[in-house]
Structure 1
Amino acid sequence: MTQPATDPAAKFDTSRASEYARQSRIALAGYDACHDLAACMLAASLGPSSSAKVLVVGAGGTAQEIITMAALEPDWDFVAVDPSEPMLAAATGHLRANDLLHRTQVHLGHVEDLPADASFDAATLIGVLHHLGGDEAKQQILRSIQARLKPGAPLIVAGNHYAYASQPLLLQAWSQRWRQQGATADEVQAKLGKILQGADPPHSEAAVQTLLHDAGFGQATRFFSSLFWGAWLACKIGRRTWVD
């Protein structure tokens, strides 16, 4: 497998994977709503009752993207990619429990490890960009996805944006979110420390738009927001492709 110089997947160990389903729903208020709307946005973009092959990048943990899309569109099939073995194992368990393994190809690794001539009708990149350090790594994954999408195909991008320290009120509200769920002050600090570990989100919505534009996508439509989190849909422009 192709490995980046600093692999952010290393922090998603067995301990983090085992608690991900619960913790992610606390860290992101509206976790399920975001995934529900992402499925609706892709279905609206592709058209009703259409068959589709969807690339799901960073599918590890809950596999919620696939579970939600599969329920809405029974004729869609999926390719799930994640570089963390514990997170992908957790996702595989959820897919098995929902009888979706026959509709999903599961790959341990990175987008670059997929065949260069792979062709997808749509893709999702949810909760990934803010774990990649620097614009170069963010551009690499977006370009790798773009190269494997059909012309005009939609991409859902969702994740944290804003430099965390630049938004002290949102950061404090995030702390209160954990307290709201019963965490002590020490637990709140520990949870925030784990979330912020190695995180490098785009610093604004404009930065997200620029990353997408430079990777060959058109203007993105924002459809969800929750504290630091945002979710957008953008479509691949023309026939432009990139070489990994």
Structure 2
Amino acid sequence: MRDEELKTLFDQQAAGYDQQWAGMAPIRQTLYLLLDALFTELPADARILCVGVGTGAEIGYLAERFPAWRFTALDPSGAMLEQCRQRAQRGGFLQRCDFHEGYLDTLAAQSAYDGATCFLVSQFFLDTSARTDFFRQIAQRLKPGALLANADLTCDTRTPAYEVLLRQWMTLMSAAGVQPEMLERARAAYARDVAVLPAQQVAGIIEAAGFSAPVQFFQAGLMGGWGCRRLAEG
């Protein structure tokens, strides 16, 4: 799926996105709990870049936990970013957020951030070199030693385990109240528009972009999460 097609899709889903996926909140909250432990060593006044932030759920969590942190919310979907802005307004942390509509290459490439989140974004890069460049662009905007938390769908799709996990994942989403048409759209997307790769391969892509060897700190069904540091220059 092309960039503009993805942007249009998320623009259309923005208003009802949180409600549509509300039943999957326990998985998201578990990811954030572990993210908390990963990010707790960051400075009290840390600046965090949230790439593909969507409706801003991770910012909402982190803003409450770390009251002096500032956030840059980046997303190509203006409609999603507006939902993020409304969340910040309701949560009382709007003044700690900057909102940037666009892709990474439209954000100044300066090493300004102490940490970054990137959840369920890089999987939309079907070409490995493009996916590596995506993480390289994140690295360019982080301070040396800054932390990256990344989450993507992951599995070796060539193995029997994938069919087992995919079936369980679909059952989980159905039980969580995800509508049948969304389930079918997701199943089709996993086969056509999402690069579901083995965890070791995802980690290798991130490392090749200028990060320390990623450590997988989270796994729930088909979703995995990795933490790593931006390597020092040179």
TM-score normalised to the size of structure 2? 0.88
1:36 deviation in Å? Answer: 2.8
2:207 counterpart of 1:234: no
8 A Cα contact 1:36 1:68, kept in partner: no
Q: 2:140 aligns with which of 126, 147, 168?
A: 147
Cα distance change on mapping 1:217 and 1:133 into 2, 3 Å? same
Distance 1:23 1:163 in 2: 28
* 1:98 maps to which of 87, 91, 94: 91
Q: Helix, strand or coil: the match of 2:72?
A: strand
Q: 1:209 aligns with which of 203, 220, 234?
A: 203
Secondary structure class of the residue paired with 1:12: helix
Structure 2, gaps ≥5 residues long: none
CA shift, 1:117, in A, is 2.3
> Residue type of the partner of 1:36?
L
Root-mean-square deviation (CA, aligned residues, Å) is 2.4
Matched, 1:169 2:167: no
* 1:163 Cα offset (Å): 5.5
TM-aligned CA deviation for residue 202 of structure 1: 4.3
Residue number in structure 1 paired with 2:19: 22
Answer yes or no: is the 8 Å Cα contact 1:217–1:235 preserved in 2.
yes
2:175 to 177, 180, 191: 180
- Whether contact under 8 Å (1:55, 1:79) holds in the other structure is yes
Indicate yes or no: 2:32 matched with 1:38. no
CA deviation vs aligned residue, 1:94-123 (integer Å, no higher than 9, x gap): 111111110000000011111122511111
Q: Aligned in 2, Cα 1:198/1:82: closer, same or farther, shift over 3 Å?
A: farther
Q: Does 1:67 align with 2:65?
A: no
Give the deviation of 1:64 after TM superposition.
1.3
Q: Deviations over 1:152-199 (max 9, x none)?
A: 111000111126575111111122113323568x54743534753753
Q: CA deviation at 1:32?
A: 1.7
Alignment of structure 1 residues 116-131 onto 2, 5 Å = 116-131=109-124
Tell me what 2:215 maps to: 221
Q: Distance in 2 between matches of 1:38 and 1:22?
A: 23
Match for 2:103 among 103, 110, 123?
110
Name whichever of 118-127 and 74-83 sits farther off. 118-127
CA drift at 1:85? 1.3
1-structure distance, mates of 2:19, 2:138: 28
Distance (Å, rounded) in 2 between the aligned partners of 1:34 and 1:228? 13
Once residues 84 and 96 of structure 2 are traced to their aligned partners in structure 1, the CA distance between those partners, rounded to angstroms, is 14
TM-score, reference length from structure 1: 0.84
**Residues 1:143 and 1:98: Cα distance change in structure 2 (over 3 Å):** same
Three-state SS of the structure 2 residue aligned to 1:223 is strand
Aligned residue type for 1:205: A
Aligned amino acid, residue 201 of structure 2: A
Quote the sequence identity (%).
25
Match of 1:41, SS state, is helix
Question: Quick check: 1:216–1:236 contact (8 Å CA) kept in 2?
Answer: yes
- Judged with a 3 Å threshold, the aligned counterparts in structure 2 of structure 1 residues 76 and 181 are, in CA distance, closer, same or farther, namely closer
CA distance in structure 1 between the aligned counterparts of 2:90 and 2:30, rounded to whole angstroms: 21
The aligned amino acid for 1:229 is M
Post-superposition Cα deviations, 1:193-216, rounded to whole Å, max 9, x if no partner, equal: 475375323411111111111101
Q: How many positions carry a matched residue from both structures?
A: 231
